[in-house]
Chain A
Amino acid sequence: AQTVTQSQPEMSVQEAETVTLSCTYDTSENNYYLFWYKQPPSRQMILVIRQEAYKQQNATENRFSVNFQKAAKSFSLKISDSQLGDTAMYFCAFMNQRNAGGTSYGKLTFGQGTILTVHP
Protein backbone atom coordinates (compact mmCIF):
# COMPACT_ATOMS: atom_id res chain seq x y z
CA ALA A 1 0.00 0.00 0.00
CA GLN A 2 1.11 3.50 -0.71
CA THR A 3 1.72 5.97 2.08
CA VAL A 4 2.23 9.72 1.93
CA THR A 5 3.95 11.63 4.71
CA GLN A 6 3.97 15.36 5.32
CA SER A 7 6.29 15.97 8.23
CA GLN A 8 5.48 19.64 8.79
CA PRO A 9 2.11 20.07 10.55
CA GLU A 10 2.37 23.86 10.37
CA MET A 11 4.46 26.41 8.51
CA SER A 12 4.46 30.18 8.36
CA VAL A 13 5.97 32.68 5.96
CA GLN A 14 6.03 36.41 5.46
CA GLU A 15 4.20 37.87 2.52
CA ALA A 16 6.36 38.03 -0.65
CA GLU A 17 8.82 35.45 0.66
CA THR A 18 9.36 31.85 -0.43
CA VAL A 19 8.34 28.72 1.45
CA THR A 20 8.84 25.02 0.77
CA LEU A 21 6.48 22.29 1.95
CA SER A 22 7.82 18.76 2.23
CA CYS A 23 6.27 15.48 1.14
CA THR A 24 7.62 11.97 0.98
CA TYR A 25 5.86 8.86 -0.21
CA ASP A 26 6.36 5.16 -0.31
CA THR A 27 5.47 2.96 -3.25
CA SER A 28 6.77 -0.03 -5.16
CA GLU A 29 5.22 1.23 -8.39
CA ASN A 30 7.24 2.89 -11.12
CA ASN A 31 4.49 4.84 -12.85
CA TYR A 32 2.30 7.15 -10.84
CA TYR A 33 1.13 10.71 -10.40
CA LEU A 34 1.67 13.19 -7.60
CA PHE A 35 -0.48 16.17 -6.73
CA TRP A 36 -0.57 19.10 -4.38
CA TYR A 37 -4.02 20.27 -3.31
CA LYS A 38 -4.86 23.42 -1.38
CA GLN A 39 -7.73 23.61 1.11
CA PRO A 40 -8.49 27.18 2.23
CA PRO A 41 -10.78 27.93 5.19
CA SER A 42 -13.76 27.50 2.85
CA ARG A 43 -12.81 23.77 2.87
CA GLN A 44 -12.91 23.47 -0.92
CA MET A 45 -10.12 21.29 -2.33
CA ILE A 46 -8.25 23.07 -5.11
CA LEU A 47 -5.63 21.46 -7.32
CA VAL A 48 -2.38 23.41 -7.18
CA ILE A 49 0.01 21.36 -9.28
CA ARG A 50 0.60 17.83 -10.56
CA GLN A 51 3.57 15.75 -11.65
CA GLU A 52 3.82 12.60 -13.72
CA ALA A 53 6.48 10.26 -12.35
CA TYR A 54 7.84 9.43 -15.79
CA LYS A 55 8.68 13.09 -16.42
CA GLN A 56 12.05 14.21 -15.12
CA GLN A 57 11.23 17.89 -15.51
CA ASN A 58 9.73 19.48 -12.43
CA ALA A 59 6.23 20.87 -12.86
CA THR A 60 5.66 24.62 -12.56
CA GLU A 61 2.45 26.63 -12.32
CA ASN A 62 3.06 30.36 -11.97
CA ARG A 63 4.36 30.91 -8.41
CA PHE A 64 4.15 27.21 -7.55
CA SER A 65 6.82 24.68 -8.44
CA VAL A 66 7.83 21.25 -7.27
CA ASN A 67 11.09 19.50 -6.58
CA PHE A 68 10.44 15.90 -7.60
CA GLN A 69 13.15 13.46 -6.54
CA LYS A 70 11.97 10.05 -7.71
CA ALA A 71 14.80 8.00 -6.26
CA ALA A 72 14.34 9.64 -2.88
CA LYS A 73 10.54 9.48 -3.21
CA SER A 74 10.29 13.13 -2.37
CA PHE A 75 7.88 15.71 -3.78
CA SER A 76 8.20 19.15 -2.21
CA LEU A 77 6.17 22.24 -3.11
CA LYS A 78 7.79 25.65 -3.39
CA ILE A 79 5.63 28.76 -3.21
CA SER A 80 7.37 31.91 -4.38
CA ASP A 81 6.26 35.46 -3.65
CA SER A 82 3.80 34.22 -1.03
CA GLN A 83 0.46 35.99 -0.90
CA LEU A 84 -2.10 36.27 1.89
CA GLY A 85 -4.49 34.19 -0.23
CA ASP A 86 -2.05 31.28 -0.07
CA THR A 87 -3.01 30.74 3.57
CA ALA A 88 -4.54 27.25 3.58
CA MET A 89 -3.96 23.63 4.38
CA TYR A 90 -1.86 21.93 1.71
CA PHE A 91 -2.14 18.23 0.93
CA CYS A 92 0.26 16.08 -0.99
CA ALA A 93 -1.45 13.18 -2.80
CA PHE A 94 -0.38 10.07 -4.72
CA MET A 95 -2.20 8.18 -7.46
CA ASN A 96 -1.21 4.96 -9.17
CA GLN A 97 -1.17 4.93 -12.91
CA ARG A 98 -3.54 2.61 -14.70
CA ASN A 99 -2.31 -0.92 -14.22
CA ALA A 100 -4.25 -3.81 -15.72
CA GLY A 101 -5.33 -6.22 -13.03
CA GLY A 102 -4.58 -3.78 -10.24
CA THR A 103 -7.18 -2.56 -7.82
CA SER A 104 -5.72 0.66 -6.55
CA TYR A 105 -5.72 2.72 -9.74
CA GLY A 106 -7.61 5.93 -9.68
CA LYS A 107 -7.38 6.20 -5.92
CA LEU A 108 -5.78 9.20 -4.31
CA THR A 109 -3.78 8.66 -1.15
CA PHE A 110 -3.38 11.86 0.85
CA GLY A 111 -0.83 13.02 3.37
CA GLN A 112 -1.87 14.49 6.71
CA GLY A 113 -1.58 18.06 5.46
CA THR A 114 0.47 21.14 6.29
CA ILE A 115 -1.20 24.29 7.54
CA LEU A 116 0.46 27.27 5.88
CA THR A 117 -0.05 30.76 7.25
CA VAL A 118 1.12 33.77 5.27
CA HIS A 119 1.71 36.83 7.47
CA PRO A 120 1.48 40.40 6.19
Chain B
Amino acid sequence: DGGITQSPKYLFRKEGQNVTLSCEQNLNHDAMYWYRQDPGQGLRLIYYSQIVNDFQKGDIAEGYSVSREKKESFPLTVTSAQKNPTAFYLCASSGERWGGNQPQHFGDGTRLSIL
Protein backbone atom coordinates (compact mmCIF):
# COMPACT_ATOMS: atom_id res chain seq x y z
CA ASP B 1 0.00 0.00 0.00
CA GLY B 2 1.15 3.56 -0.68
CA GLY B 3 2.00 5.71 2.26
CA ILE B 4 4.54 7.63 4.28
CA THR B 5 7.00 5.84 6.53
CA GLN B 6 8.75 7.63 9.34
CA SER B 7 11.53 6.04 11.33
CA PRO B 8 12.41 5.52 14.04
CA LYS B 9 9.22 5.73 16.07
CA TYR B 10 11.18 6.82 19.15
CA LEU B 11 14.57 8.54 19.21
CA PHE B 12 16.80 9.77 21.99
CA ARG B 13 19.42 12.46 21.62
CA LYS B 14 22.39 13.17 23.80
CA GLU B 15 23.63 16.68 24.42
CA GLY B 16 25.65 18.02 21.49
CA GLN B 17 24.55 15.25 19.16
CA ASN B 18 22.97 15.54 15.74
CA VAL B 19 20.21 13.06 14.94
CA THR B 20 18.43 12.34 11.69
CA LEU B 21 14.76 11.45 11.30
CA SER B 22 13.81 9.49 8.23
CA CYS B 23 10.78 10.11 6.02
CA GLU B 24 10.06 8.01 2.94
CA GLN B 25 6.98 8.10 0.73
CA ASN B 26 5.88 5.86 -2.12
CA LEU B 27 2.94 8.01 -3.19
CA ASN B 28 4.91 9.66 -6.01
CA HIS B 29 4.24 13.01 -4.37
CA ASP B 30 6.26 16.06 -5.35
CA ALA B 31 5.89 18.06 -2.15
CA MET B 32 7.08 17.00 1.30
CA TYR B 33 6.92 18.72 4.67
CA TRP B 34 8.26 18.47 8.21
CA TYR B 35 6.23 19.62 11.20
CA ARG B 36 6.95 19.80 14.89
CA GLN B 37 4.23 19.25 17.49
CA ASP B 38 4.67 20.18 21.14
CA PRO B 39 2.33 18.82 23.84
CA GLY B 40 -1.17 20.22 23.59
CA GLN B 41 -0.26 22.36 20.61
CA GLY B 42 -0.81 22.47 16.91
CA LEU B 43 1.75 21.65 14.26
CA ARG B 44 4.41 24.12 13.22
CA LEU B 45 6.20 23.93 9.89
CA ILE B 46 9.97 23.35 10.01
CA TYR B 47 10.96 22.84 6.37
CA TYR B 48 9.23 21.99 3.14
CA SER B 49 10.23 20.89 -0.33
CA GLN B 50 8.15 21.30 -3.46
CA ILE B 51 10.56 19.50 -5.77
CA VAL B 52 13.73 17.41 -5.69
CA ASN B 53 16.91 19.35 -4.87
CA ASP B 54 14.92 22.30 -3.57
CA PHE B 55 13.61 23.12 -0.10
CA GLN B 56 12.45 26.14 1.85
CA LYS B 57 12.52 27.15 5.50
CA GLY B 58 9.28 27.06 7.37
CA ASP B 59 8.35 28.99 10.48
CA ILE B 60 10.78 27.33 12.91
CA ALA B 61 13.78 26.18 10.83
CA GLU B 62 16.54 27.24 13.24
CA GLY B 63 18.49 24.25 14.53
CA TYR B 64 17.23 21.94 11.79
CA SER B 65 18.48 20.94 8.35
CA VAL B 66 17.03 18.88 5.49
CA SER B 67 17.95 17.45 2.12
CA ARG B 68 15.88 16.34 -0.85
CA GLU B 69 18.11 14.28 -3.10
CA LYS B 70 15.37 11.86 -4.09
CA LYS B 71 11.70 12.41 -4.70
CA GLU B 72 10.66 9.78 -2.18
CA SER B 73 12.94 10.83 0.67
CA PHE B 74 13.07 13.95 2.87
CA PRO B 75 15.25 13.37 5.96
CA LEU B 76 15.32 15.90 8.80
CA THR B 77 18.45 16.45 10.91
CA VAL B 78 18.03 17.92 14.36
CA THR B 79 21.33 19.60 15.09
CA SER B 80 22.97 20.42 18.39
CA ALA B 81 21.97 24.04 17.76
CA GLN B 82 18.34 23.09 18.46
CA LYS B 83 18.27 23.62 22.22
CA ASN B 84 14.79 22.28 22.83
CA PRO B 85 14.37 19.33 20.48
CA THR B 86 11.97 17.28 22.60
CA ALA B 87 8.79 17.05 20.52
CA PHE B 88 6.75 14.89 18.20
CA TYR B 89 7.84 15.23 14.56
CA LEU B 90 5.49 14.61 11.67
CA CYS B 91 6.36 14.27 8.01
CA ALA B 92 3.79 14.89 5.30
CA SER B 93 3.56 14.81 1.53
CA SER B 94 1.22 16.22 -1.07
CA GLY B 95 0.56 15.33 -4.67
CA GLU B 96 0.41 18.91 -5.83
CA ARG B 97 3.20 21.42 -5.73
CA TRP B 98 2.73 25.03 -4.73
CA GLY B 99 -0.48 24.46 -2.84
CA GLY B 100 -3.75 23.37 -4.31
CA ASN B 101 -6.58 21.33 -2.98
CA GLN B 102 -4.63 18.13 -2.62
CA PRO B 103 -4.52 17.40 1.10
CA GLN B 104 -1.32 16.54 2.86
CA HIS B 105 -0.87 12.93 3.92
CA PHE B 106 0.97 12.34 7.16
CA GLY B 107 3.29 9.69 8.50
CA ASP B 108 2.92 8.17 11.97
CA GLY B 109 5.50 10.46 13.52
CA THR B 110 8.76 10.23 15.48
CA ARG B 111 8.98 11.13 19.15
CA LEU B 112 12.33 12.71 19.97
CA SER B 113 13.55 13.06 23.55
CA ILE B 114 16.74 14.28 25.17
CA LEU B 115 18.71 11.86 27.32
Contacts and interface: CB of A to CB of B under 8 A. Distances in A.
Instruction: State yes or no: do A and B come from one complex.
Output: yes
Interface of A: 4, 33, 35, 42-47, 50, 52, 91, 95-99, 103, 105-113
A103 B56 contact: yes
B106 interface: yes
Interface residues of B, number: 28
A45 B106 contact: yes
Given A43-B88, A112-B42, A105 B98 contact: yes
B2 interface: no
Interface of B: 31, 33, 40-45, 48, 50, 56, 58, 88, 90, 92, 94, 96-101, 103-106, 108-109
Contact of B108 (A44, A50, A91, A110): A44
Given A43-B109, A106-B98, A111 B42 contact: yes
